Structure 1
Amino acid sequence: MKRVLVIDTGNAARSIMAEALINHYLGRVCDLHADSAGVEPKGTIDRETVMVLAEEGIETEHLESKGLDALPKSGYDLVVTVCDNVKGIYPTLPGAKKEMHIAFEDPEGKPIEAYVRELHQMKNLLIPRIREELCEA
């Protein structure tokens, strides 16, 4: 099984959405599992994040906001940063085979439409890139 780690600042919206989308759309198809973490975890998931994922038909019960210290420090096939603030400053993870950066706008504090827009951006941009990197290799 291949493993993906998605990192952003607060682990309350973008990285959570990415984790859920990757697991939902690529988990079984590509035999991979995604985790997410924040460098300064909020400790809670934005309710709008849960709402847009549920509307997409994606399970949300297992999702939680957490920091990098809550995850294994090695063994990731791909580390993805989805936040410009985190790009290049997150701790290097030993054994991470590949790194990728795709910035998405932080929807926190914005109307639900911003969360919907970012979810669809991730679905259209991030999922195909990860499929290319890990599923077709």
Structure 2
Amino acid sequence: MAYKTRVLFVCVANAARSQLAEALLRHTDSERFEAFSAGTEPGEVDPRTLAALEHLGVNTEGLRSKSIDEFAGERFEYVITLCDKSSLECQALPGAGEVLAWNFEDPVTSTQPDAFRHTLHEIHERIKMFVLVKTKR
């Protein structure tokens, strides 16, 4: 089996954005990427996160809110933060190859009516681009 590129998505609560990103990367290219997500202050996965993914036909099995501490000592080629606060807290993550900072509005606190679907779409577009760029040989 070929080695998969390990990617860890991080936001603060691990309730929405990083969960969306983890599920979308798996959905987009699980052949070449292994996706994980964690929070610097994990809570619960927001049910609207799961609903938005299911609406798109993305598998949500196994998604749960995890602390970044669960991944202590693990190696990741990419650690991708999804908000400014987590990007500040993740600079010192040992075992991170390249740290990328993507900033998406938090759909949990958004006033937009379709915030979750909107954020899902934005993250999906970014992930498709990430996969395209990182898998060019």
- With the length of structure 2 as denominator, give the TM-score of the two structures: 0.89
Alignment correspondent of 1:27 = 30
Matched, 1:14 2:17: yes
Distance 1:18 1:8 in 2: 10
Gaps of 5+ in 2: none
Change (3 A) 1:49 1:129: same
Alignment correspondent of 2:48 = 48
Matched, 1:107 2:110: no
What letter corresponds to residue 102 of structure 1 in structure 2? W
Distance 1:95 1:69 in 2: 12
Answer whether contact 2:26 2:35 (CA < 8 A) is retained: yes
**What does residue range 41-80 of structure 1 map to in structure 2 within 5 Å?**
41-42=42-43, 44-80=44-80
Distance 1:115 1:47 in 2: 10
Distance 1:92 1:108 in 2: 26
Answer whether contact 1:102 1:126 (CA < 8 A) is retained: no
Distance 1:128 1:75 in 2: 23
Gaps of 5+ in 1: none
Deviation at 1:118, TM superposition (A): 0.4
Deviation at 1:129, TM superposition (A): 2.3
CA root-mean-square deviation = 1.6
Q: Percent identity?
A: 33
Distance 2:27 2:60 in 1: 10
SS in 1 for 2:128: helix
- With the length of structure 1 as denominator, give the TM-score of the two structures: 0.89
What letter corresponds to residue 131 of structure 1 in structure 2? L
Change (3 A) 1:24 1:129: same
